[in-house]
Amino acid sequence: MASLTIPTKYVPGLAKIISLSDDSMDELLGVLSEVTPSISLKNVSSVVSCRIKSISRSDASKIVRTLVSLYSARDYPDVAESPIGDFVNDVFQAMEQSGRKELIVPKEDQNNVKDRLEKLLSFEAFNVASKALSLQYEHEHTLCSARILTDARPVFGTNPEAAPVAIVISHTLKLTYHEGNELKEIYLAINAEDMEKLQALLDRARSKGRSLSALFDSAKLQVFG
């Protein structure tokens, strides 16, 4: 498999996993074993931080985000079939090559930390959630944010020096979206009729989503989204 790298945003979470006391780690493992699969990292972090006493809410959030990232990396086709111990060794190699002193584990502690990582990467709830999260964003473009800008444009008569004779109220739908690692924007002019159509489409989509959720709920399938 290709060499792993540790993104900067996941360094604090990984460092916290390394530095936790054995008692805190045991408490964390106990809480994580009871977590329900969810693609909302905020919800999972909130549940974990409410149930665990020895780890702060901030640290719990960092750990959860790091774990989801590791589960996602573990799910790559050329990695998923390999033993979890091999993956943990690759993570260790990436930690050593990162140049971050907080990720360097003394030799006498390495077996203990590797054991921690193997246990943390063995929860089915996180495995399911990471796969669902990956599938949710497996699109060429994904929406980041939306905004509607409203402005009034004056209409002048034959004499441009005279006061406007009318006003046109216009709306612009600004969509910010991800394309790969890039963030792009598109601006679309819309009117009141367009907004009514969009609202009707959104309402219909919500209804279809509820209908499908009820169908899969009856089949006892976990529904995400």
User: Are residue 108 and residue 180 in the same domain, yes or no?
Assistant: no
190 neighbors 173 (Cβ within 8 angstroms)? yes
Q: Is 154 within the bounds of a domain? A: yes
Residue 34: predicted pLDDT = 85
Helices 84-97 and 57-74 pack at an angle, to 10 degrees, of 120
**Number of folded domains that form the chain:** 3
User: Are residue 98 and residue 78 in the same domain, yes or no?
Assistant: yes
Tell me the C-alpha distance between 200 and 113, whole Å.
Answer: 53
3-state secondary structure of 160: coil
pLDDT tens series, the chain, 225 aa? 446 888 899 999 999 999 999 999 999 999 888 877 676 767 777 777 788 888 888 888 889 889 888 888 887 756 666 788 888 999 988 998 888 999 999 889 999 999 999 999 988 878 877 777 777 777 788 899 999 999 999 999 999 999 999 999 999 999 999 988 789 999 999 999 999 999 999 999 999 989 988 888 888 877 776
Q: Residue 223 has which token pair?
A: 């529904």
Domain carrying residue 174: 139-190
Q: Is 103 within the bounds of a domain? A: yes
Residue 159: predicted pLDDT = 94
User: Are residue 123 and residue 159 in the same domain, yes or no?
Assistant: no
Q: Is 20 within the bounds of a domain? A: yes
Q: Is 148 within the bounds of a domain? A: yes
3-state secondary structure of 147: strand
Q: Is 3 within the bounds of a domain? A: no
- Alpha carbons within 13 A on the beta-carbon side of 55: 32
